[in-house]
Amino acid sequence: MKIHACLFLVATLVVMPGCGEKSSVNQTDGIKDAFDARPNEGLRDAGEDIGDAVKDAGRGIKNAGENLKDAVEDK
């Protein structure tokens, strides 16, 4: 039983470093993005900007809620 556990541990430690590697599927798209050469670049950039704006708005709402909660707790 101990031998099986040791073999499993060794196999796991050998395989684990490969799990963290990122694939290079989007690498070409990233290069084209850097040179503004992607198809429909304007639409893609607009979509990315909208996504960033939504994230910022969400963070703002979260911070406002936390500030309101702190103000209510202080009174």
pLDDT in tens, 21-63: 565 556 677 777 777 787 888 898 899 999 999 999 999 999 9
| Measured distance CA(53)–CA(46) in Å, rounded | 10
| Measured distance CA(61)–CA(54) in Å, rounded | 10
21: in domain: no
Confidence (pLDDT) at 61: 93
**Residue of higher predicted confidence among 41 and 75:** 41
Express the helix, strand and coil content of the chain in percent, nearest 5 each: 80, 0, 20
Q: How many domains does the chain have?
A: 1
45: in domain: yes
Confidence (pLDDT) at 17: 67
14: in domain: no
71: in domain: yes
Confidence (pLDDT) at 50: 95
9: in domain: no
Query: Model pTM?
Result: 0.51
By residue range, what is the domain housing residue 69?
41-75
